[in-house]
Copies of this chain bind each other. A is one copy, B any other.
Amino acid sequence: MKRAKKKVFADFMSQRGLKSTKQRDIILDSFLSSDRHLSIEELYLKLRSKHPNIGYATVYRTLKLFAEAGIAREMQFGDGQTRYEHVSEGEHHDHLVCTRCGHIEEFENETIEKLQDEVANSRGFLIERHRLEIYGLCANCRK
């Protein structure tokens, strides 16, 4: 899975004539090792301790590349930061977001997806993508 995404990214890079660099390798490793929905700043700070020589701009640009390569997706959860999450080819999920602790949980619901198609069809819309986020208190924060 981690290996597979590294290959997808490597292929994307060579196809675009872009170069492999130490920074990109490190950032990709760090990104894939985290299962959270990371902001640029968070990933930058995470790297900073072990790799003080990697700049914010490089993290920013590399995450953009991940998104272009199809191994990451930009998300907005309304906290003012863009977050990048892992995605795989053909995979899709939506989110439950805790408004207290920031915990993000993922879910898939085929029936909801179908109903969305119906809504779009009835209005003549051609769906490109959608976002469904449920905000509230996670099980832990309800206690």
- By a beta-carbon cutoff of 8 Å, the part of chain A in contact with chain B is 76, 78, 96, 98-99, 105, 107, 109, 111-112, 115-116, 119-120, 123-139, 142
Contact = CB atoms under 8 A, between A and B. Distances in A.
A138 B116 contact: no
Given A109-B115, A119-B96, A136 B132 contact: no
A127 B136 contact: yes
A128 B99 contact: yes
B142 A136 contact: no
A137 B129 CA distance: 10
B134 A127 contact: yes
A97 to B, nearest CB: 9
Given A96-B120, A119-B96, A138 B125 contact: yes
A105 B135 CA distance: 22
Contacts of A96: 119-120, 123, 125
A105 B123 contact: yes
Nearest to A118: B109
A125 B142 CA distance: 8
Contacts of A128: 99, 135-137
A136 B125 contact: yes
Q: Shortest 8 CB-CB distances between A and B: which pairs?
A: A124-B139, A127-B136, A128-B136, A126-B137, A130-B134, A132-B132, A126-B136, A125-B136
B129 A131 contact: no
